[in-house]
């Protein structure tokens, strides 16, 4: 009997420890994603001869960085990746929220390859749309390949008519790339586990619900324009 009771207690303790470990593991995934997103954005800004036009940086209301988007086919196929998004409010950047990019078939179709994406949002409307419901890039909002290179600064006919401009790194190089057909939306479970229950992407981005972001989030925000 004692052996049976001891076994039950051991099982209970193991279950409790496992439950406590889940939030910690989830938090580490978010922290790692923030660190990777920071590195990807810095790499884009420092890419030789692939400079993002200053006018585009200054006009951006929000920026999303989605590292390691996995391609699952050759020629046509699905995509999936998680990243972070922050918006400019009152001259500073809000705490980042976590987003998911999934589905669709967009550019550079090479099976099994992972690419890093950076999206510049020029309107608040487009961001509010993705928070209300996952939207299709190029369908619900207009999206265009981001201009790059030294000539883009001077000759860009960036009338900035598109709502989102996108860049992707493939084979070690960044280039403007259209992501039409992909769906973008908030990763609600990751947001709750990182910031705490009750916090929504809308509150974080538009109501400044997290005025003091955690260290990894602050490190990401420091590199934004």
User: pLDDT tens across 98-114, in order?
Assistant: 999 887 555 544 445 66
Hey, which residues does 119 pair with through a beta bridge? 64, 166
The CA–CA distances, whole Å, from 64 to 10, 154, 171, 219 equal 45, 25, 21, 15
For residues 218 and 105, give the distance between their C-alpha atoms in angstroms, rounded to a whole number: 33
Q: Are 33 and 84 in contact (CB under 8 A)?
A: yes
The pLDDT of residue 84 is 97
Q: What percent of the chain lies above the pLDDT cut of 70? A: 68
The CA–CA distances, whole Å, from 43 to 99, 105, 221 equal 20, 25, 15
Length in residues, the chain: 225
Q: What percent of the chain lies above the pLDDT cut of 90? A: 36
Residue 144 predicted with pLDDT over 70: yes
For residues 52 and 225, give the distance between their C-alpha atoms in angstroms, rounded to a whole number: 11
Q: Are 42 and 63 in contact (CB under 8 A)?
A: no
Q: Are 64 and 121 in contact (CB under 8 A)?
A: yes
- pTM: predicted TM-score of the whole model, two decimal places: 0.78
């Amino acid at each position: 009997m004692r052996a049976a009771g001891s076994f039950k207690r051991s099982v209970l303790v193991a279950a409790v420890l496992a439950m406590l470990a889940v939030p910690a593991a989830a938090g580490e995934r978010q922290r790692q994603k923030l660190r990777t997103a920071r590195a990807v954005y810095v790499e884009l800004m420092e890419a030789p001869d692939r400079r993002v036009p200053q006018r585009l940086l200054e006009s951006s209301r929000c920026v999303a960085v989605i590292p390691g988007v996995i391609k699952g086919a050759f020629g046509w196929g699905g995509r999936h990746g998680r990243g972070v998004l922050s918006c400019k409010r009152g001259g500073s950047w809000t705490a980042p929220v976590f987003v998911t990019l999934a589905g669709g078939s967009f550019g550079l179709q090479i099976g099994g390859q992972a690419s890093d994406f950076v999206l510049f949002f020029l309107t608040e409307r487009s961001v509010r749309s993705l928070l209300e419901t996952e939207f299709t890039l190029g369908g619900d909002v207009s999206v265009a390949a981001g201009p790059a290179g030294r000539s883009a600064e001077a000759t860009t006919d960036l009338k900035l008519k598109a709502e989102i401009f996108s860049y992707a790194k493939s084979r070690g190089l960044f280039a403007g790339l259209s992501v039409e057909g992909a769906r973008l939306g908030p990763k609600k479970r990751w947001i709750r586990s990182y910031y705490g229950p009750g916090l929504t992407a809308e509150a974080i981005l538009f109501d400044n619900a997290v005025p003091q972001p955690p260290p990894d989030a602050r490190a990401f925000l420091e590199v934004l324009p």
